[in-house]
Structure 1
Amino acid sequence: MAIGGIQTGINSGLPIGELVTAMVNAEKAPKEAQLARLSSSTTVKLTGLGKLNTALGEFQTALKDLNSPALFEKRTATSSNTSALTATAGKTASAGSYQVEVKSLASASKVATQALDGNFKSGGSDEVLSVKLGDSGTAVDVKITAGSDLASIRDQLNSALKDKGVSVSTINDPATGKSRLVFSGNETGDGKDVIVSGSGDLAALSVDGRTKLDPADTQGAGYIVQATNAQFSIDGLVLSSPTNTVKGAIADVDFDLLATTESNKPLTLKVGEDNAGVKAGIKKFVEAYNKLINTTNDLTRVTKVGEDGTPLVGGLVGDSTVRNLVGGVRNELVNPVGGDGVRVLADLGITTQKDGTLKIEDTKLDAALKDNFDAVGSFFLGDTGLMKRLDGQVTAYSQTGGILSQRMSALQSTDADIKKQTEDLKVRVDSMQKRLLAQFNAMDSLVGQLNGTSSQLQNTLSNLPGVVRKNS
């Protein structure tokens, strides 16, 4: 037979292998088919519930994002000329439009010492350079090592002035061989001029940041750039700021001055609600809802395919869980809420299509956000808002230990039981196969013994006196 390596019984001539295989298959086929059908059904349902749970999770995330007061409190500040001004607005900023003209930017002080010969060196060890920003600034006294050249003086100053708001560099004139020290402040605004005073030989490096450097004087000291405030106007009102980052000129609006505008050609700064951000949140909600509906449609659809119209059945066809979930969500969508202006989704240009998904009419939504922004917020937000009510409908299904979780756990248990029954069936079939082989082999051996006995008996009888043998 095939299983034991013997095709046919030696003594009986019976096809033992085929007989055992047929008997084993007849025993296991019904149970095997039943388990296969149950396994397939369980897997399909488990996969379907997994897809539904994923879509439901994305839907709840969109509900949470849109049910955020911060989203509706956010304000935007939009500049018509972002190369000259950019701005941000806080939640208490009042909506409005402003004409802003940037006349000059705030600047930091940059001063140059007089030009000195390349062989200049400091004198005695008690010589000091004092550096400060403005008359009211705190002076930093830097003791310079005796005999230091300009490069060494520069390095000593930079070491001492580190984190003090001033840096020092050297500028050399190739034509004359003379050099200057250039002091650069990092603080803008009126009165932040760099002032340097020296003692002894270092007095030659003194410079007053309030004195302008004469371009015609190639030797003198003075400022290259004077520290000044930014000058700008809002709706014709002239204002100034010590920095190019302006705070408080417009309540809860900050803006950065980046460049000057053309004379008498102000830019427009608009402050208002974050319509674009809210619209993006609404679109995300609609997309997540449509994905949920498309998922449930796919899972409950029966489609005829092929020439014979064989039905292709979704994994959760006729499932009451899906039906109850979708029904509860749709009921909330059409349930009016709120006051004047926005009571249902249709007031926002959001309507239901034939397949149950939602469609947005952008023009109507934009108009609602522009004209009824607060009403839109009231419609979506709060304990009675649409987002909270929709979340209440789906939480029972999606939460840990909820309806979907319980059903998936039950199906996983069923799947585990199917696998155990399959293993048990295999053990039982193997045992049956061994038993049948043993029985058939014993029968074949018995047939062999009976054949041997028959031959012996025939030989004995044929040798008895008076027995006539037939010629073969």
Structure 2
Amino acid sequence: MAAITSLGVGSGLDLSGLLNQLDSAERLKLQPLTQQKAANQSKISAYGRLQGGLSSLQAAVGRLNDPKTFEGMSSTLSGSGLAVATTSSAAPGTYQVKVDKLAQAQSLATGGVDDRAAPLGTGTLAITAGDSSLSITLDESNNSLEGIRNAINAEKAGVTASIVNTGTDTGSRLVLTSDQTGTASTLDVTFTEASSGSGGQLNSLFLDLEQTVEAQDAELTVNGITLTSQSNTFEDSLEGITLTASAVGEQQTLTISRDTSTMKGAVNNFIEAYNTLVGTMSSLTSYNAETRVAGELLGDAALRGVQSQLRSALAGLSEEGAYKGLSDLGISLQLDGKLKLEKPERLDAALSGNITDLSTFFAGTSSVSSTDGFAGKLGSTLTSLLDSNSALNRSVEGLKTRNKGLDERYARMESGIEQVVERYRSQFAQLDSLIANMNATSTYVSQQFDALNAQLGRE
């Protein structure tokens, strides 16, 4: 409410200042509502931090619940000119690899033509490139070197045509190149005249084609065995391993091994995410006796429920498999509630041993993420804790509903206060006018007495 500056003009009293003080005093009634809303909002933020920690743990647990996490393979090469990609079916081992040949696409070139736009004859041009073929009728609309090139490329049938300007007396040459590499994609070109003698220069151009690039398969030697491929990619030669050659070179060593760093990283990420969550819960339930400052969720029932369910999930033991619990992998629960990889040699032994046992413990026996392993069970617990109908979400929604009610009460009380202050303002205005009138009357009476005294010579 704006300060009233016109009050007090008639009376000489600071009625405007008094009205502002009354306004401030009335508004003190709003403070409990403001404080309660701030406390509720602080709790909502605290629940948000707790849910964020649960979501981070859920993501880390999700990686452990994915069997693919334990199927990763890594590869190293001692040389260059070769790229490697592996799948889970690749077998660890060492291979001696040498790129002997790169795959090539065949290219054929016609003889030279002085004028690339001049008509060359009529007929039918048929080209086969591996499993693809095309047939083009050449007439006055497309029988120049440029027209033939455009007609071939428009078919998109396994062969690409281009024109090369030799810069010599031979002029321009039409070059046909197979779109695929390897000997299975060689070109077969046939030209047939439309009628006797109508072929013109095209007869000789397509009869005397020159092979400028020979079709060639890629060749790779692996442990003394020669492998061939129509392209520079060898997909099925070694199970689970795809080799892509880019340059001919000397023999090099290819090493395929289990990607234990990714697996170990997933376990460590889980421990870190869990400990971060425990630290968050500890902060939210803390109490400082010296400052008498308590955490936002000290004594909160929803948070205690979260702690209880997580402890139960961690303590659960598997009835089957080589590993029964986290302790079998060297992971122990500390006094402060956090996890620690106390005996890393146990995890290293599990990673270097039968990886299926480790995958079964975390991800269960299914080929996809399931709920029968440690991570699956913990993941189910986290899903229920974060569910829209969970105690956490119900608590948050309850606080939001309370804040909405507080906002409505605040608006009603503020409206009432404004009405009270307006009543005061009206009363002060009346008082100001009354005192002004009284002052005016007093002044008039004084003036009359002064005039009477002057007439009576009493001055």
Q: 1:334 to 1:116 in 2, by over 3 A?
A: same
Q: Say whether 1:183 aligns with 2:176.
A: yes
Quick one: which of 48, 56, 59 aligns to 2:57? 59
Q: Deviations over 1:56-101 (max 9, x none)?
A: 23322333343223444x4436251584333334444444444333
Q: Say whether 1:323 aligns with 2:319.
A: no
Quick one: which of 356, 362, 375 aligns to 1:380? 362
Q: Say whether 1:167 aligns with 2:123.
A: no
Quick one: which of 257, 267, 273 aligns to 1:282? 267
Asked if the contact 1:158–1:167 (Cα under 8 Å) also holds between the matched residues in 2, the reply is: no
Shift of 1:249: 1.7
Between 237-246 and 178-187, the greater mean CA deviation after superposition: 178-187
Rounded to whole Å, the distance in 1 between the matches of 2:25 and 2:123 is 113
Q: 1:119 to 1:44 in 2, by over 3 A?
A: closer
Q: Say whether 1:80 aligns with 2:115.
A: no
Quick one: which of 260, 266, 271 aligns to 2:248? 260
2:455 is aligned to: none
Per the alignment, in what secondary structure is the counterpart of residue 156 of structure 2? Answer: coil
The equivalences for 1:83-94 within 5 A come to 83-94=80-91
Asked if the contact 2:133–2:157 (Cα under 8 Å) also holds between the matched residues in 1, the reply is: no
Q: 1:405 to 1:123 in 2, by over 3 A?
A: closer
Asked if the contact 1:230–1:243 (Cα under 8 Å) also holds between the matched residues in 2, the reply is: yes
Shift of 1:241: 1.9
The equivalences for 1:32-51 within 5 A come to 32-51=30-49
Shift of 1:400: 0.7
Q: Say whether 1:205 aligns with 2:197.
A: no
Shift of 1:107: 1.6
Q: Deviations over 1:416-452 (max 9, x none)?
A: 2222333333344444445566778889969x99xx9
Asked if the contact 2:182–2:217 (Cα under 8 Å) also holds between the matched residues in 1, the reply is: yes
Shift of 1:353: 5.7
Shift of 1:403: 0.6
Percent same amino acid among aligned pairs? 26
The equivalences for 1:109-148 within 5 A come to 109-113=106-110, 115-116=111-112, 118=114, 125-133=121-129, 140-145=134-139
Rounded to whole Å, the distance in 2 between the matches of 1:147 and 1:418 is 84
TM-score for both structures, normalised by structure 1: 0.73
Rounded to whole Å, the distance in 2 between the matches of 1:290 and 1:412 is 29
2:195 is aligned to: none
- Which AA in structure 1 matches 2:408? K
When the two chains are superposed, the root-mean-square deviation of aligned CA atoms in Å is 4.5
Shift of 1:228: 2.1
Asked if the contact 2:132–2:157 (Cα under 8 Å) also holds between the matched residues in 1, the reply is: no
Q: Deviations over 1:22-67 (max 9, x none)?
A: 77766764x4443343233222212211222222233223333432
Q: Say whether 1:299 aligns with 2:284.
A: yes
Note the residue ranges of structure 2 that are not aligned, 5 or more in a row: 193-198, 364-369, 446-457
Asked if the contact 1:122–1:144 (Cα under 8 Å) also holds between the matched residues in 2, the reply is: no
Q: 1:303 to 1:159 in 2, by over 3 A?
A: farther
- Which AA in structure 2 matches 1:111? L
Q: Say whether 1:193 aligns with 2:174.
A: no
Per the alignment, in what secondary structure is the counterpart of residue 216 of structure 2? Answer: coil
Shift of 1:399: 1.0
1:464 is aligned to: none
Q: 1:435 to 1:133 in 2, by over 3 A?
A: closer
- The number of aligned residues is 431
- Which AA in structure 1 matches 2:232? N
Asked if the contact 1:128–1:144 (Cα under 8 Å) also holds between the matched residues in 2, the reply is: yes
Q: Deviations over 1:301-338 (max 9, x none)?
A: 3347xxxx534432222323223312331342244336
2:452 is aligned to: none
Q: 1:123 to 1:383 in 2, by over 3 A?
A: closer
- Which AA in structure 1 matches 2:301? S
Q: 1:77 to 1:261 in 2, by over 3 A?
A: farther
Per the alignment, in what secondary structure is the counterpart of residue 52 of structure 2? Answer: helix
Q: Deviations over 1:2-32 (max 9, x none)?
A: 969545995xx99877877777766764x44
Rounded to whole Å, the distance in 1 between the matches of 2:189 and 2:26 is 106
Rounded to whole Å, the distance in 2 between the matches of 1:7 and 1:438 is 12
Rounded to whole Å, the distance in 2 between the matches of 1:139 and 1:51 is 65
Between 19-28 and 313-322, the greater mean CA deviation after superposition: 19-28
Per the alignment, in what secondary structure is the counterpart of residue 98 of structure 2? Answer: strand
Q: 1:435 to 1:123 in 2, by over 3 A?
A: closer
Shift of 1:109: 0.8
Note the residue ranges of structure 1 that are not aligned, 5 or more in a row: 209-220, 457-470
Per the alignment, in what secondary structure is the counterpart of residue 388 of structure 2? Answer: coil
Determine which structure has more spread, i.e. the larger CA radius of gyration.
1
Per the alignment, in what secondary structure is the counterpart of residue 196 of structure 1? Answer: strand
Q: 1:239 to 1:14 in 2, by over 3 A?
A: closer
Q: 1:198 to 1:317 in 2, by over 3 A?
A: same
